[in-house]
Amino acid sequence: MSDSDFDRETAVEPTGPGRWRARVSDGWNIAGNPNGGYLLAIVLSAMRQLGPHPDPLSVTAHFLRPGTGGVDAEVAADLVRAGRSLTTVRGSLVQDGKQRLEVLAAHGDLAVGPDHPMLSTTPPEIPPPEECVPRSAEEQGVDLALASRITTVLDPRHAQAGRAGAAEVTGWIRFADGRPPDAQSLVVFADAFPPSIFGLLGRIGWVPTIELTVHVRRRPAPGWLLGHFTTDDLQGGRMIEEGSIWDSEGQLVARSRQLALLLSGDT
Amino acid sequence: MSDSDFDRETAVEPTGPGRWRARVSDGWNIAGNPNGGYLLAIVLSAMRQLGPHPDPLSVTAHFLRPGTGGVDAEVAADLVRAGRSLTTVRGSLVQDGKQRLEVLAAHGDLAVGPDHPMLSTTPPEIPPPEECVPRSAEEQGVDLALASRITTVLDPRHAQAGRAGAAEVTGWIRFADGRPPDAQSLVVFADAFPPSIFGLLGRIGWVPTIELTVHVRRRPAPGWLLGHFTTDDLQGGRMIEEGSIWDSEGQLVARSRQLALLLSGDT
């Protein structure tokens, strides 16, 4: 058993063909419920046992109901297609008889690929981690047990509720226990920053995600990751947040997009 | 039966609980196989029969194998969660015993939503449709039966293979038979432009999509739609293409992101 919180707390134990049990930790809670990316990482632990491909290239999760920390979960994963270069799997996470997540993912091997012309983007310039501001539960107006597992420090321009002047958040992120990032963990980091709308609208409380899709683009180098998240599309209380994550060598390692709800009465 | 090609050729006929049959037309072929967005629209025809919510808010399709035009398909759709404001459904499309698509979608009602502050983006400025250039099968180097169903005219700056100087394509799109666009059809339009990488790399042939996610943001007004698609992320032969579609009133109506393959030996 690994001594990293992430490996230990996303582990799954087989209970039958395509079925596993997991213990959902309450250490990843935000506003009283487990972070969605953390629950998704538990499902991915089961999914990657169904094929030879190690890296989650495309992961889509629909968040049906909040999960519960400190309670066991039943995880299911079923093969959709076993291909030469891709394994496509769907999965679910159930607690107390109610489904919390539905997941559809394609795994592949990021170490394999033709030497085509490459396009990429460079990270925004922000102060180094030691000059950034620790993410504050008070500032965001929610309980943040998640801070025991993930350290997030924000560009000072984006750290105060309603003061960024834009729906934008930039900062550095890593596991609190020093575990280096890998392809699996990028799915968690893609969902662990404060909502970017927070910098524009202020203390908005919990922003429920309807659906999150993460594309892992490259295995990250050790060290801090730099995340940049923006929202430029909010209609009828539903918004799209887009994110990019670069590793400590400045390489683009993940992209994310999510559809989330801005709850009535919070602004 | 509607006299629009789209309605007639995406119709599904029930064969049992959660099961339908569809006739896949060859009128939507590109490079010899049906356009992925068209196959997806067939699955959505079945999915939206499972709940009261009319609009596809979030649709993710994994394209497992190319489909075949002119052949029947079996469509399955199963309820994941029936909620008050969202119906979440997964589905599949099978031809000749082989699964071609796996789909996960949330439907809702775009006419319902709180009157929150709104963020949106404006369309890029391009020439009007009559000054744009019809999409050319010869220029792209593929067969384009799809042109019998969808009319696409491109910004002249983006219409020639390898001449755009960037992985960017902008243009106008509509059904060839004049059917007005609706929320369902935006999923097809989001997958019907030439690949944006074409403007940078030239005649690249078929660009297989691994996964496509479309967020429908608003029901479109009648008339031409304006699409803008870019690729700034190509690594190991895998690329992310992002798109936005605005309606004839300049309102943002859909966003898309797809993970696609640039096949070896084509450049």
Residues A42-87 pLDDT 10s: 999 999 999 999 999 999 999 999 999 999 999 999 999 999 999 9
Give A252's contacts in chain B (Cβ within 8 Å).
233, 235
- Give the one of B65, B218, B238 whose C-beta lies nearest to A113's C-beta: B238
Q: Where are the beta strands (DSSP E) in chain A?
A: 13-16, 19-24, 29-30, 33-34, 55-63, 71-82, 87-95, 98-108, 133-134, 150-154, 168-175, 209-216, 225-235, 238-246, 252-261
Are the beta carbons of A120 and B235 separated by less than 8 Å?
yes
Q: Which of A197-206, A240-249, B110-119, B160-169 has the highest mean pLDDT?
A: A240-249
Q: What is the pLDDT of residue B116?
A: 66
Are the beta carbons of A259 and B60 separated by less than 8 Å?
no
* pLDDT reading at A2 higher than 80: no
Cα nearest neighbour of B267 on chain A: A116
Give A90's contacts in chain B (Cβ within 8 Å).
90, 102, 104
Are the beta carbons of A60 and B64 separated by less than 8 Å?
no
Q: What is the DSSP string of B204-265?
A: -----EEEEEEEE-SPPPSS-EEEEEEEEEEETTEEEEEEEEE-TTS-EEEEEEEEEE--TT
- Give the one of B83, B116, B257 whose C-beta lies nearest to A234's C-beta: B116
Q: Which residues pair with B239 in a beta bridge?
A: B234, B260
On whether the CB atoms of residues B231 and B239 are closer than 8 A, the answer is yes
Quick: pLDDT tens for A121-159.
999 999 999 999 998 766 666 788 999 999 999 999 887
- Give the one of A80, A114, A201 whose C-beta lies nearest to B64's C-beta: A80
Are the beta carbons of B62 and A240 separated by less than 8 Å?
no
* pLDDT reading at B46 higher than 80: yes
Are the beta carbons of A234 and B119 separated by less than 8 Å?
yes
Give B234's contacts in chain A (Cβ within 8 Å).
116-120
On whether the CB atoms of residues B255 and B244 are closer than 8 A, the answer is yes
Are the beta carbons of A120 and B234 separated by less than 8 Å?
yes
Are the beta carbons of A236 and B86 separated by less than 8 Å?
no
Q: What is the pLDDT of residue A214?
A: 98
Rounded CA separation B5/B145 (Å): 13
* Residue from B215, B228, B234, B247 whose CB has the most chain A CBs within 10 Å, to mutate: B215
Are the beta carbons of B255 and A257 separated by less than 8 Å?
yes
| First-residue to last-residue Cα distance in chain B | 45
The total number of residues shown for chain B amounts to: 267
- Give the one of A81, A215, A252 whose C-beta lies nearest to B64's C-beta: A81
Give B57's contacts in chain A (Cβ within 8 Å).
210, 238, 259
- Give the one of B213, B238, B252 whose C-beta lies nearest to A233's C-beta: B252
* pLDDT reading at A266 higher than 50: no
Compute the Cα dihedral for B192, B193, B196, B202 and give only its sign.
positive
Are the beta carbons of A102 and B120 separated by less than 8 Å?
no
The confidence band for A112, taking pLDDT boundaries of 50, 70 and 90, is confident
Q: What is the pLDDT of residue A204?
A: 73
ipTM: 0.95
Give B199's contacts in chain A (Cβ within 8 Å).
none
Provide mean pLDDT across the span B246-265. Answer: 91
State the amino acid at position A77 in one-letter form: A
Cα nearest neighbour of B109 on chain A: A236
Q: What is the pLDDT of residue A267?
A: 36
Q: How open is the CA angle B260-B262-B264, to the nearest 5 degrees?
A: 145
Q: Higher-confidence residue: A259 or A136?
A: A259
How many angstroms separate the CA of residue A226 from the nearest CA in chain B?
A: 17
- Give the one of B210, B255, B264 whose C-beta lies nearest to A233's C-beta: B255
Quick: pLDDT tens for B87-142.
999 999 999 999 999 999 999 999 988 766 689 999 999 999 999 999 876 666 67
